[in-house]
Structure 1
Amino acid sequence: MSSNYVQNVALVGAGGNQGKYIAEELVKGGKHKVTAITRAESNGVLPAGVVPQIVDYNDPASLVEGLRGQDVLIITMSVMAPPETHQKLIDAAKAAGVKFLLPNEWGYDHERDLKFAKENLIGERNLKRREDIDAAGLPWIAVAGGFWYEFSLGGGEYRYGFDIANREYTRINNGDIKLSTSTWEQVARGTVALLNLKIYPDNAVNKESTISNYFGKSVCIESFNISQNEMFESLKRVTGTTDADWKIKTEDSGERYARAIKMMQEGSRIGYGLGMYTRAFFPDGAASMPNTVNSVFNLPKEDLDECTKGAIKFEETFKGY
C-alpha cells in the first residue's frame, strides 16, 4: 500500500537560485528523499544530502527512468532554458507515474487576475504550462511567492527601481504601490510545509488540510507586502544613508512599461524584465496577493532589514540579468 505522504521528491534546478533553497529545506526536514534531475554536462553544485540523477533531455526513456518512483516533480528552471524542456518533463512525469507536479512558475497567482497575467509578460506562458499538465492528466500546484526579494532589490534598476551600488532610486509613480515579494528561504519553507501535508484526506468527512486541497490552484507565499518607498527606507537604514546620498528620479508606470515593450520588441532582454517588473507597480495593485498561506503553514515573520542586507550582498556578486 502506498503512503499518503510525499516521500520521494525529484527536483529540477536543485543547484539554482530557488531550487537549492528548496533542496536544503527538504533535506533539513528529514522527511523526504531528494533527487536532483541533472544533465551530465551540468557543473552546478548540489546541496548536501541530495542524490543526483543524470538524465538526457533528448532521450525520453532517460527522463522517464530518472523520474520513476518519484511522488512529486518540482521544476525550478532558468528562464533561459529551452522552452520545450518543460513539456518533456511533463511527458516523462506522466509515463513514470509521478503523482503531481509543481511547475516552473514561482511568481504570482495568475488565475486571480488574467489581465495582469497577460500584461506582466510571464503569466500567459505559465497558464499554458498548466494547460499542458492538465492535458497529461496530472495534478499540479503552482507555488506563488511573487518576485524574489533579494534578486529583485539587488538585481538592478530595471527590477525594483534601485541601483544600489550607484545610490540611484527610480520611484515609479509615487512609490507607494505595494506588491507581494518573498525571499528564496520563505518560498522554500512554504514549499516544504505543503509537501509535509498528507496527500489526500483519510476519509470523506476529514476536513484537515491536505496537498490535494491545493490541486489546480496557486499556493501563495509572502515575505513582505511592501512598496518601493518602504524598500528605500530599509535601504537607508541598512546603509546608514539619507535621501541626500541618493539620486532620486520619478517615472510614470505607463511610460516606463511602454518603453520596456519597445525595448523588448527591439530584442532587448532587459526590456522584458523591465516590463515584467513595471507592470507589478501599476496603480491597480495587482501584484499584491491577498490570499497567502503564511498563517496556515505557520511561516515565520522575517526581518526586513536583514533581508535587505541579503539583497545588497546579492548585488555585490550579481553578474547581469
Structure 2
Amino acid sequence: MLPESIRTIEMREPGKADVLETGTRPIPQPASDEVLIKVIAAGVNGPDLVQRRGHYPPPKGASDLLGLEVSGEIVAVGADVADWSTGDLVCALTNGGGYAEYVTVHGAHCLPIPEGVDPVDAAGLPETYFTVWSNLFLDHTPAANALLLAHGGAGGIGSTAIQLGKLNGMSVLTTCADDASIAFCTDIGADRAINYQDEDFVAVARDMGGANLILDTIGGDYVARNIKASAPDARIVQLAFNKGSRMEIDLMPIMLKRLTFTGSTLRSRPEAFKSRVAADLRDRVWSSFQTGQLKPMTHTIFSFDEAVASHKMMEQAQHHGKILLKP
C-alpha cells in the first residue's frame, strides 16, 4: 500500500545551501502518460544549485522540488503507459521533484537500469547522459580520431563526455583543477588531462591539431579561447556560463573557420525530444554499460538529511563524478 504523505527536501526560500530542509507532502499522482517511482536515489546536478539560488524556475506544470534524475521502482502506471509495469526498476529524467521519496515521471523518459549497474549508482546517469548525448552525438557522427575538448572533466557532465567521446572513437582533451582530477580523468579514458592553472588549453588543443568538438560549461573568457582552440568546421557546445554569459569577443574567426556555436538547456525541451533521446540512448548506448565500456561515476552518496552538505560539496567542486542523495 502506498503512503499518503512522503518525505521531501524543500527550499525555505531562494539562497545558499542552508535553505534546504526536509519536509512532507502528499504523494504525487501520475497522469495518464506518467509512472510513479519509489525513489532509490536522486542525482545532484548543477541546475539544482541554480534553481536553489532562484535563477532557474521550473517549467510550467513541473514540480517546484529540486531533482532532475532518479533511480527507483515503478509502483503505479498511468493508463496510457504501455512500456512499463509495476515492479520495474528504472532510472529516469524528471522535470523536477526528484528530491522526494516518490516522484512522477513521463513514461517515455524512463530507461531500464543497465545490466551490471547498481540501482543507487543508476540515479546519476539520466541527467548527464541525456544532456551530453543530445548535444554532442544525437544526429552527429564524429569523424574518426576527431578531438573532443571537454572542460571540467572531473564533474558529472565532463566525466560523461569523456566516456562517450571515447565510445565514439574520439581523442579526448580535458581541463581539470588539480592532480587528483587529472588522474581521475585519465583513468576513465581521457587522452590528455591538463591543469588549466598550469597549462593553456588553447595551446595544447592546437598542438593536437585543434578541437573538432568542444563542450563548455565555463563561459566568460573561455568563449573566445574555445574559438581559438577549435579546428576548422568545429562545433562548440555551450551548456552553462559559470564565469558569466556576457563578454566582448571577435566573431570573425567563427566565419573564417566555419564554426558552429550552439547551446541548449535540457529541462525546457519538449517531451517528445526527451523521449527521442531516451530511445536513442537505449538503442545505442545502454548496452555499453554491460560490456564495461561505460561506467557510472558515483563520488559520494548523502542521505536526505545531508542535502545541505551535498550542495556545498558540488559548489566547492570537491567531487569526481556524481553526487547522489538517498531517501
* Fold similarity call, TM over 0.5: no
Q: TM-score, normalised by structure 2?
A: 0.34
Q: If each structure's helix is expressed as a fraction of its own residues, which one has the higher value? A: 1
Q: TM-score, normalised by structure 1?
A: 0.34
